[in-house]
Structure 1
Amino acid sequence: MLLAAGAGAWFAGARPVADALWFAATLVGLAQSSVSLAGAVRQRRPSVDVIAWLALVGALVVGEALAGALIALMLAGGVLLEARAAARARRELSLLAARAPRTARRYGPDGLLELPADQVGPGDRLLVGSGEIVPVDGRLLGPAVLDESALTGEPLPVDRPAGDDVRSGVVNAGTPFDLVATASAGESTYAGIVRLAEQAQAAGAPFVRAADRAAVVFVPLTLVLAGAAWLVSGDVVRAVAVLVVATPCPLLLAVPIAIMSGLSRAARSGVVIKGGAALERLAAGRLLLFDKTGTLTHGRPRLAGVVTAGEPVDADEVLRLAGSLDQASAHVLAGAIVSAARERGLRLEPPVDVREEHGYGVRGLVGGHEIRLGKASWTASGPAPGWMQRTRRRAELEGLLTVFLSRDARPAGALLFEDPIRADAPRMVRALRTAGIERVVLVTGDRDDVARAVGRIVGVDTVHADQDPAGKLAIVRQASATAPTIMVGDGINDAPALAAAGTGVALAARGATASAEAADIVLTVDRIDALADAILIARRARRIAWLAVIAGMGLSVTAMLAAAAGLLPPAAGALLQEVIDVAAIGIALTALVPVRAYTRHMTAADLDTARRLYAQHRSVEPVVEQVRDVADALAQDGTDLAPLRAVLGRLEGELLPHERAEEAELVPIMAKALGGADPTGAISRTHAEIEHYIDRLARTLDDPGDDTADLQRLLYGLYAILRLHNAQEEEAAFSMLPPGGPEADRN
């Protein structure tokens, strides 16, 4: 405003008024520059503000008020833009603290008394209701079903017997239970996690902005050149002119604009980066650490398969009965069972007389039959039959959770649940390596065998399993001492590690969590391949920022040489500097130009086709599991070939037409979206192998002979190919569908 008012006075012929207004503008700029410079001195960091300060002082000394006002304007604009670019959302742990239990219910002489959690002491007997958070560490007085995901990251509920120790912060996922407190609230696990996050946050290293790093070279060069011009010519105006054209506006403007442009591009991809400092650290990251549950996996149970005891109840009927009964259950697995039954188009009946047996399961009447759903020992009386033992063994080896079902007191089948790996996770890890990530590490609280299986599939370099929040924090700190780190997580148990890492990245597509508060970067879309896009955008923005700096400061150096030679007076130099600023800003704005990202996109027509084929893909999944069930049955009794003929009919009538449709419609869409020399070759080959195996199975079944070993080998081979093929398609094709595609359907 002062500069504009001075210009108006100058054009009106009031030169003294104009000079006074410009002089005032210069003083405002000098005051701001002095404050900034004093802060840099206190922090003992290099700063280009010293050049601006000297230029403003020099302009006042030699009476170049207009030049000083122009410098003050660009200085103020640069400070404003940088403040907006570098302002980081405060990483308050408000949600972490808000989740902490504040009250507890303690048994006393007069019954239950509700009191503040910090008044609970060791030895107190407490009641924890359904859905409540355990307020303090304690020991169970009865069995309990607990959701421990807040501490361990493991999404599946855990059955704890009486006498087990439980930690504060876990959620009662079953019926109410009693416990005896073994620690006060302040000494309990959850309070320790909050302290860990606060300590890790406080230990964060200060960020040195790009402009200040450039000052290490530019400031001495400017001072030497200005001093030489003064000494050689004996004219202090030349020295001031050098300082004026050396005003580091390309640093103060171009860098923030490039960074802000990068933040804008990332936000359009569903990635919120909390300021320019976080963007630069993300661009510099070389070592990436992942949590498993909810990050590389979905973090929610999904039906992985149905095992039957045999006729007369088939897999669909087992799932239908379980889904019907679980409509009246609030158990964490009930939603997954009901969703899976509806996904397969099964008709659910309203259950009658439903009762939940704490720690065992749920029972009720469905269609006049008594249905029990829960633990094997509760659903079946007497010794467990062979199929139950095989199912338990399979679940143990594959890291699955089992729920058994009986109909009218007879075991009928079992439901297997998994926490599935995100389809886009392997591709995302490969993309991250392409983007410059040198090492990928998995850090999880889950079991070692499960963690290593996920790590192999996703393609990480190292796996650290069975880690509590303190263990994760220690690993992150150790890694940060060797390379710039990026930590990715989504749970409360990840908050300390996220705050300690060079860059913390949180997945918050399903709502805000403590991890989102502690993180520098938040993915608001439920796709982790967006992280690869964010790194690509961050590195491009940083590269453009430095390009703008080099170009702008190169032109400034040329102008400085001209000013030193007496070819540029201060006012003309200030105007030329404005031209240089515009050029640098133009370069910085190229960071807004879209570039091809790792996340692939399809046209609207291709999306419709892919969604239709994905629905078919999901509908034929039970046929794949039926292939394995028939192969298992042949291993036990090879005389009955009726189930084999039935599954062959489904393979030829349902699965083969679907695979042919994918080859004709999906493969071209994938080739167009993925690009490259032959991106769909492997999928086309497995399409051919599937058809080949089904043809061999049909010809062998026409003349099976006395030995069914060939049939069994063909079935197991076909099952393996189908599982691999489905994983390939979900990773390469269906993971590209936006929300409303496979992720939404699956969940």
Structure 2
Amino acid sequence: MSNFKKFIITVTVGIVALIAEFGFKQPKIAFWLILLIGGITTISMFIGMIKTLKSGKYGVDILAITAIVATLAVGQYWASLTVLIMLTGGDSLEDYASRQAGKELKALLDNTPTTAHLLSDDTVTDVKVETVKIGDRILVKPGEVIPVDATVEKGSSFVDESSLTGESKPVDKTVGDELMSGSLNGDAALTVKVYKEAKDSQYQLLVKLVKESAARPAKFVRLADRYAVPFTLVAYLIGGVAWFLSKDPVRFAEVMVVASPCPLILAAPVALVAGMSRSSRHGIVVKTGMTIEKLAKAQTIAFDKTGTITAGRLFVDRVEIADSAYDRHTVIQLAASAEQASTHILSRSLIADAKKEKIKLLPSEDLEEVTGQGIKATVDGKSVKVGKAGFAHTESHLSSDETAVFVSVDDQFIGMITFKDVVRKETPETINKLKALGIDNISLITGDKNSIAQTIAKQVGITNVHSECLPEDKIAILKNVNDSERPVIMVGDGVNDAPALSIADVGIAMGAHGSTAASESADAVILRDDLGRVAEAVNISQNTMKIAKQSVLIGIFICVFLMLVASFGVIPALLGAALQEVIDTVSILSALRAKNDR
């Protein structure tokens, strides 16, 4: 039976008991009704407590059991009913809090696009989104959700990406720009070219995360359990002394009612859910409350290089001219024009550079992609080849660290364009923020050569470098981190990072342009293409746990104070039970502070 049903039954029994005693003057019926529901609840809680003890843990449920039994034993059955209502209501609220963990993301499921407008010879056909293939052209109408990851081929529009990145300001998208599935098109139609199938697109990644969270709900740790033994001993000590000195067992019951642990049990879950909600507003998907706790205590963090420390996108570095009839502008124009219909990563880099330098692309025809060699197209009536050196009729003298394409016109080599991966502009600041948050053990773990890794690490302020690592090497490095330097965070974005993300105490995936495998393996996913969100995730987690602990301690201190007052017989059992609502409210309001940005 769900906790909410238990709460409804308890309230219903309470109403019937009230009618019996005050409507029909039958206090015995009221007593037996409350005794029945109290006995059933107590037995259920006792069984749960035994299971907890068998697992080697100790909780505060024993105080709730004692309060119910003690109040029933001394005839304070209305106080017992109040405690029962608060306990079942508290458990219902905790269940509700767990469900709320993915609420802001679950809305995505209701908006999942199911159809796409496929363009073929200027004819529009509605097809199922899962049938759309890479290279297909589709029409996105004004106000529609973009169904798959694609590149704008025609048109310009403002696109709302807030459901994916948390960024409220619409982004201007024009020809050559990438669109994430799940974002909302503005007031202009767009013709786009698909570069990821629906199953691999950004929107479906989020849907998978939501379903995963639903199948594996957050397991909230009751912070109150860490204080359970001393709190329980203090409660029994105060109650026992009050009973011994007054010779009145009612005094013990009054103390136990005030010691009911409801607010302590609620404080941590409410704070954790609030922290997860705050994270999602900042473009960070945190899958479980346990992840928040680990992030808050993290001592070590390791980064992959490509796509994580660096942008993961190649940028044009230099252009070497081989034919004096051409200049830099013309070589890039011809190469980018020929590549504009290609989905290769270097094609997107060329087009992005041309756009940045405001170079107008020329119409291209007869595109032919030669596997493993490059592309061939007719641009402005000329046969343009872009690809490997031999394909472009020349020889390569590049070092093994360089990436380049060679360009020929009418089988005459005219120039070479080299590319480089650059450090994200926010990376150095992110490293400094992590150090300020108390994470001093920062490593770079990459498959790149040592010379490249050392250069990148020096630029961003990382001194501990592991280079030329295979996926199994990354796992070994993370496994060998000392216990005193844990929890350890691993941040990556590629398929080869997925095993490392799984083995780390906390795996964080750069999900905006990263692989689906990495995001599914991770405990948290950064939806914005911004490494600074990693430091933000740690900051939010630390703040959340600080507030959670404060809220638990506030509840404990108020309870201890009221127990001391109740030991003098000043607080009747029924009033003591009612005062628990005050402690509930204070603890929950304190915990909800975790949802606010500082």
TM-score class, shorter-chain normalisation, is 0.7 to 0.9
Q: 2:487 aligns with which of 481, 484, 487?
A: 484
Flag the 1:551–1:409 CA change in 2: closer, same or farther, 3 A. Answer: same
Could you say which residue in structure 2 is the equivalent of 1:179? none
Q: Note the 1:398-547 alignment, pairs <5 A.
A: 399-479=401-481, 481=483, 482-510=485-513, 513-547=516-550
Name the structure with the higher helix share. 1
1:486/1:502 contact within 8 Å kept: yes
- Counterpart in 1 of 2:335? 322
Alignment CA distance shift 1:331-1:281 (3 Å) = closer
SS of corresponding position for 2:435: helix
- Larger relative contact order (C-alpha < 8 A, sep ≥ 6)? 2
* Matched position secondary structure for 1:406: strand
Larger radius of gyration: 1
Give the deviation of 1:531 after TM superposition.
Answer: 2.3
Matched, 1:218 2:207: no
Q: Is the 8 A contact 2:307 2:514 kept in 1?
A: no
Give distance in 2, aligned partners of 1:577 and 1:584. Answer: 10
Look up the SS of the partner of 1:413 in the other structure.
strand
1:577 maps to what in 2?
A: 580
CA distance in 2, matches of 1:207, 1:575: 27
Deviations 1:431-478 (A, max 9, x none): 122222222112222332222222222222312122222222222222
Post-superposition offset of 1:16: 4.0
Return closer, same or farther for 1:72/1:306 CA change in 2, 3 Å cut-off: farther
1:373 to 355, 378, 386: 386
| Counterpart residue number, 1:121 | none
Q: Matched residues in 2 for 1:502 and 1:86: separation?
A: 22
AA at the equivalent of 1:414: M
In the alignment, the residues of structure 1 paired with residue 40 and residue 93 of structure 2 have an alpha-carbon distance, to the nearest angstrom, of 18
Query: 3-state DSSP class of the match of 1:305?
Result: strand
The residue correspondences of 1:540-559 to structure 2 (distance < 5 A) are 540-559=543-562
Paired with 1:39 and 1:350, the residues of 2 have a C-alpha distance of 72
1:45 and 2:57 correspond:
yes
Q: TM-score, normalised by structure 1?
A: 0.58
Q: Deviations over 1:465-499 (max 9, x none)?
A: 22222222222222263322122222332222222
After TM superposition, the structure 1 stretch with the greater mean CA deviation from structure 2, 498-507 or 337-346, is 337-346
Residue 29 of structure 1 contacts residue 73 of structure 1 at CA under 8 Å; is this kept in 2? Answer: no
SS at match of 2:226: helix
Task: Name the structure 1 match of 2:201.
Answer: none
Contact 2:471 2:500 in 1 (8 A): yes
* TM-superposed deviation, 1:21: 4.2
Distance 2:371 2:320 in 1: 24
Question: SS of the residue aligned with 1:36?
Answer: helix
Identity percentage over the alignment? 36
In structure 2, the residue corresponding to 1:420 is in which secondary structure? Answer: strand
d(CA) in 2 for partners of 1:287 and 1:414? Answer: 42
Specify the alignment match of 2:261 in structure 1. Answer: 248
Q: CA deviation at 1:283?
A: 0.9
**Cα distance in 1 for residues equivalent to 2:229 and 2:574:** 27
**Match of residue 139 from structure 2:** none
Structure 2 unaligned residues grouped into runs of 5+? 1-7, 103-133, 136-194, 196-218
- 1:271-282 matches, within 5 Å, as 271-282=284-295
* Deviation by residue 1:604-635 (Cα, 9 ceiling, x = unmatched): xxxxxxxxxxxxxxxxxxxxxxxxxxxxxxxx
Contact 1:75 1:252 in 2 (8 A): no
Local SS of the residue matching 1:526: coil
- Kindly state the Cα deviation for residue 84 of structure 1 after the two structures are TM-superposed: 5.0
Is residue 494–residue 515 contact of structure 2 (8 Å, CA) maintained in 1?
A: no
Summarize the alignment of residues 275-354 of structure 1 with structure 2, pairs less than 5 Å apart. Answer: 275-309=288-322, 311-354=324-367
- Report the alpha carbon displacement of residue 295 of structure 1 after superposing the two structures with TM: 1.9
Answer yes or no: is the 8 Å Cα contact 1:26–1:65 preserved in 2.
no
Work out the CA distance in 1 between the residues paired with 2:357 and 2:447: 33
Q: Residue 462 of structure 2 aligns to which amino acid in structure 1?
A: V
Deviation at 1:8, TM superposition (A): 5.5
- Where structure 1 has 5 or more consecutive residues not aligned to the other structure, the ranges are 90-129, 132-172, 174-205, 596-747
Conservation of the 8 A alpha-carbon contact between 2:407 and 2:413: yes
SS of the residue corresponding to residue 293 of structure 1 reads: helix
Structure 1 residue 361: Cα displacement: 2.6
Deviation at 1:322, TM superposition (A): 0.7
Q: CA deviation at 1:246?
A: 0.9
Q: SS of 1:76's equivalent?
A: helix
- Quick one: distance in 2 between partners of 1:68 and 1:56? 5
Matched-pair contact (CA < 8 Å) for 2:222–2:269: no
Give the AA of the match of 1:421: V
* Offset at residue 578 of structure 1 (A): 2.1
In the TM superposition, 1:588-603 aligns within 5 A as 588-595=591-598
Richer in strand (by share)? 2
Distance 1:70 1:500 in 2: 46
Q: Is the 8 A contact 1:272 1:523 kept in 2?
A: yes
Offset, 1:261: 1.8
Counterparts of residues 7-46 of structure 1 (less than 5 Å): 7=18, 12=23, 14=25, 15-46=27-58
Counterparts of 2:32 and 2:446, CA distance in 1: 66
Corresponding residue of 1:568: 571
Q: CA, structure 1 residues 522+480, in 2 after alignment: closer, same or farther (shift >3 Å)?
A: farther
For residues 577 and 445 of structure 1, do their structure 2 counterparts lie closer, same or farther at Cα, with a shift above 3 Å needed? same
After TM superposition, the structure 1 stretch with the greater mean CA deviation from structure 2, 510-519 or 562-571, is 510-519
What letter is aligned with 2:466?
H
